[in-house]
Structure 1
Amino acid sequence: MTASVLLAADNLGVHVGTRALLRDVSFSLRAGEVLTLLGESGAGKSLLAQAVMGNLPAALRASGSVTLDGTTSRADDARARRPRWGRTVALLPQEPSLALDPLMRIAPQLSETHELVRGAAFDQAEAAALHDLEAAGLAASARQYPWQLSGGMAQRAAAAVACAGGARILLADEPTKGLDALWRDHTVAMLQGVQRRGGCVVVITHDLRVAEALGGQLIVLCAGQVVERGDARTVLADPQHAFTRRLVAADPARWPRRAAAPASAGAPVLSAQGLSKGFGGKPLFDGVDLQIRAGDRFVVQGPSGTGKSTLGNVLLGLMPADRGVVRRAEGLHATAFQKLYQDPVASFAPQITLGQSLRDVAARHRCAWPAVLQHLSRMGVPHDLLARRPSQVSGGELQRVALARVLTVQPALVFADEPTSRLDPVSQQEAMAVLLDALDERGAALMLVTHDDDIADAVATQRWRLAAG
């Protein structure tokens, strides 16, 4: 191992009991290099990053070895690497809720990282924090708490905190999920900036555009093992393994357009007149009139922070409008209007197994358990996942469980807030098809928030774009 190697893994594995979740992954990165990890949801990509950091859940065991900036330790010796967190190696986790302190405002969190990790003086740390927030388009949110930000804004804030310590090794888990094209490109530039400053980057992503833009090395994981590796652009242009070919073929840009139902096919499920909402004196949207009919696929797009999630929450009655009125079709129970959350971790009770959560929903809505299991099977969720808690599965796996849970309620309208952003392209296509098929069978409507123009093109019958204010 040469001194110029910044990060290396040798036969890295992750096990639960005698079962291998990740098998024999090896790589090395020098200054200025990047490695992108692609693969199915639940293939072990996030586990690899956690094993490198040394913060695996207690039930899991790492094997192999990890090298950080010339120092090699056993993968299961987490204490050897923890003193280097933030300064040598930093992790941007998949969920912003796991990276940001909900009780601290954004600017102080960032300032504290500059001061305590990087060693800046207090005044310098505050100035650096404000500079970082301005670069991330979050200057107006400096005094807000994480829970007051949109999903995309929280993602950018978490990225700023992860980079603030100046670590030369950055592990970024789905850093562009939930971001529009502008901020996706900004995040790619941020990662490339780490490389230019003499660092290296490991990026976990489901976005093939990000993998192509970054270039460098590429590893494709399937069922916990490497099935293909090589130069990123070469592999994406001419994949050799059957799974990689399937992954590339399932990119949303290649999805066929789903046939649209006639506009008059269904009765109105929900309508709004003169709807307005703002926060802190800042308007998000004003004077909105809309109607969603049974069978509609109503797609809402726009930059982060323009009120897409808020609009859905107001329509569902999860928060009040400032002005205007929302009318829901008569005869529908309140639970006929369901939401798929952008952050699936926040929508499950953390201390209850997924199986118990689903059984509670099935009992509440008098749904037979075999029907719930059928939804899970159609979503590609292994039934043994039900014995785990939400924190013990990947974000993509948890989102598929959330999709199955929503279908259990047999809704008349589903508000889906970036429901596929945590899924690999194959799972995205399969999950969206299952969701749309189930809604079509019931004549139910979908209100979909997505930053992906290709997904919008494939599924929309109506399409709205929100702008700031």
Structure 2
Amino acid sequence: MSASVLLAADNLGVHVGNKALLRDVSFSLRPGDVLTLLGESGAGKSLLAQAVMGNLPSALRASGSVTLDGTQSRADDARARRPRWGRTLALLPQEPSLALDPLMRIAPQLSETHELVRGASFDDAEAAALRDLQAAGLPASARQYPWQLSGGMAQRAAAAVACAGGARILLADEPTKGLDAHWRDHTVAMLQGVQRGGGCVVVITHDLRVAQALGGQLIVLCAGDVVERGDARAVLADPQHAFTRRLVAADPARWPRRASAAKAHAADSTDAPVLSAQGLSKGFGGKPLFDGLDVQIRAGDRFVVQGASGTGKSTLGNVLLGLMPADRGTVRRAAGLHATAFQKLYQDPVASFAPQVSLAQSLRDVAARHRCAWPEVLRLLDRMGVPHELLARRPAQVSGGELQRVALARVLTVQPALVFADEPTSRLDPVSQQEAMAVLLDALDERGAALMLVTHDDDMANAVATQRWHIVQGGVSLPAPARPLRSDT
């Protein structure tokens, strides 16, 4: 194999017992190359990255071989590659909560990487950490802990840590999820900077815009198999395999607009709101996120909230749901609603499940608590495309997309009057996104329930919103331009 090859995989596979989860994936990357992996949630994309790293869970076994900077090793020989972590090979995991130390402030995590991995002096490492945070738009977060950051801010912090060691080979698993357009483009530029610096990048993404922007090679995975590969822009422009065509066709930019069943006609102004708030204000550390906000959400509304990362979108939902207090203002719920009628679908699904409890037990507990028959739970899982055998696993043993679909089924078992969904499909491929949103909207329409959706995806917002708000940096909240809602046939 040519010495110029930075990263290569030869017949790479991942197995659990006698079952293959990923089969015979091969590729070769030289300096300046990029490989994008597309595919359905649970197809094995993250497993591929973990197998290359040599960091698979103990129950899984890798096969084939991996070459790092001209040195080949068996894929199952994790110890051969571990000394190269950070310096030659770096991974940006899908979940920031798993990438960042919750007990360390952000700046020390960055400076520690510069010092211990890159070999910088203590003073130089601290200065480099502050420069990285400035570049990531996080200068005010240097002394914060990861749990004090929004999802998008934590994603940017994790990316900065992953790159701080100067590794020439970067594996980036969903690096733009939960990011607004500005920071998505910034992350793409960061990946391209690794390429221009003589490195190579493997990017796992569900965002077709990211795949288009990066170009290079593209591999499409379905059920653990490579179903299509080639030049990224050529494949996306003219996909040959039926699954790739489904992925492209399911991009939110192609979704028809959908009217709410409860709002197919003009809203009756006499309808009492499910939730209302007057003069709502909230800030952290002297920084106002929103101030003097009035909100009314009625049955059947799809209230979409947008804005840059860290401007208070998730905080607004948490205040409205009673998960944190407002600094000023009042929140009122409609009379007669049970305390559990307002539910949250979290942006980080890993953080919303008990880590040591099987998914089956988590779902059974919720079903028993809310008197939902188990067959109904299984029916929801079927509609979400979740195989029943996954329920025997713990949260960390399934993909982020699979776990988010389980979380969505769990929320619907409660039969809520309002669901606050915080970037609920950012971990799903376009096909699963479209299917999951259809199930969610169908279920809410059946119940006449409301949806409050946080998303950075303008196309998704256009497709589902009956109301749109934009949270602007500095604490000002403005309604997005009104758009006529129609039902597409």
* TM bracket, shorter-chain basis: over 0.9
Q: Deviations over 1:88-122 (max 9, x none)?
A: 00000000001000000000000000000000000
- Identity over aligned pairs, percent: 91
Alpha-carbon offset, residue 262 of structure 1: 3.5
Counterpart-to-counterpart distance in 1, 2:6 and 2:268: 58
In structure 2, distance between residues paired with 1:82 and 1:338: 42
Indicate the residue corresponding to 1:300 in structure 2.
305
Given that residues 96 and 154 in structure 1 are in contact (C-alpha distance below 8 angstroms), is that contact kept between their aligned partners in structure 2?
yes
Distance in 2 (CA, whole Å) between partners of 1:264 and 1:455 is 27
Q: Tell me the secondary structure at the aligned position of residue 5 of structure 1.
A: coil
Once the two structures are superposed, residues 25-68 of structure 1 have per-residue CA deviations (whole angstroms, 9 ceiling, x without a partner) of 00000000000000000000000000000000010000000000
Residues 156-197 of structure 1: per-residue CA shift (max 9 Å, x gap)? 000000000000000000000000000000000000000000
Check conservation: 2:37, 2:204, Cα contact below 8 A: yes
After TM superposition, which residue ranges in structure 1, 4 or more long, deviate above 4 angstroms?
263-266, 466-469
Q: Is the 8 A contact 2:88 2:168 kept in 1?
A: yes
Distance 2:180 2:71 in 1: 38
CA RMSD of aligned residues (A): 3.2
Residue by residue over 1:307-365, the C-alpha shift from the partner in whole angstroms, topping out at 9 and shown as x without a partner, is 00000000000000000000001111110000000000000000000000000000100
Secondary structure at the counterpart of residue 29 of structure 2: strand
For residue 291 of structure 1, report the CA deviation from its aligned partner. 0.3
- Which of 257, 276, 285 does residue 281 from structure 2 map onto? 276
State how far apart, in whole Å, the 2-side matches of 1:278 and 1:7 are: 46
CA shift for structure 1 position 427:
0.3
Answer yes or no: is the 8 Å Cα contact 1:284–1:468 preserved in 2: no
Residue 11 of structure 1, CA deviation: 0.2
Q: Structure 1 CA distance, aligned partners of 2:131 and 2:331?
A: 41
Distance 1:198 1:124 in 2: 23
Matched residues in 1 for 2:231 and 2:25: separation? 16
CA distance, structure 2, for counterparts of residue 233 and residue 395 of structure 1: 26
- 1:126 CA displacement: 0.4
Deviations 1:351-395 (A, max 9, x none): 000000000000100110000000000000000000000000000
Shift of 1:138: 0.1
What CA distance in whole angstroms lies between the structure 2 residues aligned with 1:65 and 1:420? 33
Is the Cα contact below 8 Å between 1:277 and 1:286 reproduced in 2?
yes
Query: Could you say if the C-alpha distance between residues 126 and 112 of structure 1 is closer, same or farther in structure 2, counting changes exceeding 3 Å?
Result: same
Once the two structures are TM-superposed, the CA of residue 468 in structure 1 deviates from its matched residue by: 35
Structure 1 residue 266 displacement after superposition: 5.1
Contact 1:40 1:426 in 2 (8 A): yes
Distance verdict in 2 for CA 1:141–1:240, change over 3 Å = same
Report what 1:158 is aligned to.
Answer: 158
How far apart are 1:236 and its partner, in Å? 0.2
CA contact (8 A) 1:274 1:288 kept: yes
Cα distance in 2 for residues equivalent to 1:288 and 1:91: 40
TM-superposition CA deviations, 1:397-440 (whole Å, max 9, x none): 00000000000000000000000000000000000000000000
Equivalent of 1:458 in 451, 459, 463: 463
Q: Secondary structure at the match of 1:410?
A: coil
Deviation at 1:467, TM superposition (A): 30
Note if 1:405 corresponds to 2:410: yes
**CA deviation after TM superposition for structure 1 residue 24, in Å:** 0.2
Closer/same/farther in 2, CA of residues 8 and 266 from structure 1, 3 Å limit = farther
Residues 115/261 of structure 1: CA separation in 2 closer, same or farther (3 Å cut): farther
Cα deviation, residue 305, structure 1: 0.4
CA contact (8 A) 1:7 1:69 kept: yes
2:40/2:431 contact within 8 Å kept:
yes
Aligned pairs for 1:349-388 (under 5 A) are 349-388=354-393
Q: Distance in 1 between matches of 2:172 and 2:422?
A: 22
Aligned residues: 468
Cα pair 2:107 2:142 within 8 Å, conserved: yes
| Aligned-pair CA distance for 1:299 | 0.2
Consecutive unaligned residues in structure 1, runs of 5 or more = none
Give the conservation status (yes or no) of the 8 Å contact 1:265–1:294.
no
Alpha carbons 1:269, 1:292 under 8 Å: kept: yes
Deviates more, 1:21-30 or 1:263-272: 263-272
Q: Secondary structure at the match of 2:97?
A: helix
Contiguous gaps of at least 5 residues in structure 2 = 259-263, 470-485
Pair 1:85–1:260, CA change in 2 (3 A) = farther
Task: Tell me the CA shift for residue 267 of structure 1.
Answer: 3.4
Alpha-carbon distance in structure 2 between the residues aligned to 1:77 and 1:446: 48
Contact 2:257 2:488 in 1 (8 A): no
- Report if aligned partners of 1:298, 1:447 keep a CA contact under 8 Å in 2: yes
Contact 1:43 1:222 in 2 (8 A): yes
Does the 8 Å CA contact 1:302/1:467 hold for their aligned counterparts? no
Would you say the 8 A contact 1:266–1:443 is kept in 2?
A: no
SS across alignment from 2:6:
strand
**1:132–1:440 distance in 2 versus 1, CA, 3 Å:** same
